[in-house]
Amino acid sequence: MASVLVNSIYEMKNYPVVLLNTVLSPLSFLLVIYFVSGGRLIGDAIEGGFIMSMFNSGMSLQGDLKNDFKLQDMVVSSPTSPAAYVTGMALAEIIYSVPALAVLMVLAAVYLHPGMVQALELLGVFLLMFLTSIAIGYTLSTFSSDIVQSFAFSRLISTLFSTLPPVYYPITLIPLPYRYVAYLSPTTYAAEISQHATGFLSLSTFGIASAWCVLFATTAILALVAVKKARWREV
């Protein structure tokens, strides 16, 4: 509750302007794709906005863990487990992203019209993206020595994972020799699953199963690294 109040409720209440960045970040790319494609890729862009919002929410954990020095010092020195603390901080990041997610949900209802099964698939993909970014953000925050360095890493990784890969558009638009590079990012597989679920991209059964396996494996490996390598008592 302390994490939610400090990192989302109080900040949104006292500084409403910060919500603009949360909303404009995914929507700005969506608008660019919409105008460039003449509206043809609006569905892909909406799903890309969800993926970007969820990934950036988890990555924000890295900067916020360093930002709340006094709160963090008290928590670390208490019997509180790292899992409980990270859960609270992660919940705060989701609440902080609610305005952007709400706008995207309205757009999805208008342009995507997902059925129950498709909606569950999309929810699963977005949740895995969030968990993946939490694992990355938490691990890096325990190794970063300065908040400025934390924000720099957060922006760099967010750009590499949610902006450069084919998240807002189908991977088929990338020339084949360079397409393999895009598959180095887990967000590429998330976008493929999302686009396939809503009919914007056609994948074989093997292709969709492979994409799910990569996402689950990536999330599990990064979570294991966070548990084993993160320096909780030294943050």
**Per-residue three-class SS string for 112-126:** CCCCHHHHHHHHHHH
Mean pLDDT of the chain: 82
Q: pLDDT tens digits for 195-204?
A: 999 999 999 9
DSSP at 233:
G
Spatial CA neighbour of 230 closest among 85, 22, 118, 127: 85
Q: Calculate what percentage of the chain has a pLDDT beyond 90.
A: 36
- Find, among 41, 82, 62, 73, the residue nearest to 166 by Cα: 41
The 10s digit of each residue's pLDDT in 33-64 is 989 888 899 999 999 999 998 988 888 776 65
225 vs 25, more confident: 225
pLDDT at 59: 81
pLDDT tens for 205-218 read 999 999 999 999 99
Sequence-distant (≥ 6) Cβ neighbours of residue 161 within 8 angstroms: 55, 133, 185, 186, 187
Q: Residues 92, 64: contact at Cβ < 8 Å?
A: yes
Mean pLDDT along residues 83-95: 79
pLDDT digits over 108-145, tens only? 999 988 889 999 999 999 999 999 988 888 777 776 66
Q: Please report, to the nearest 10 degrees, the dihedral formed by the alpha carbons of residues 153, 158, 163, 164 taken in order.
A: 50
pLDDT tens digit sequence for 141-154: 776 666 666 666 77
Give the pLDDT confidence score for residue 20 in this predicted structure: 72
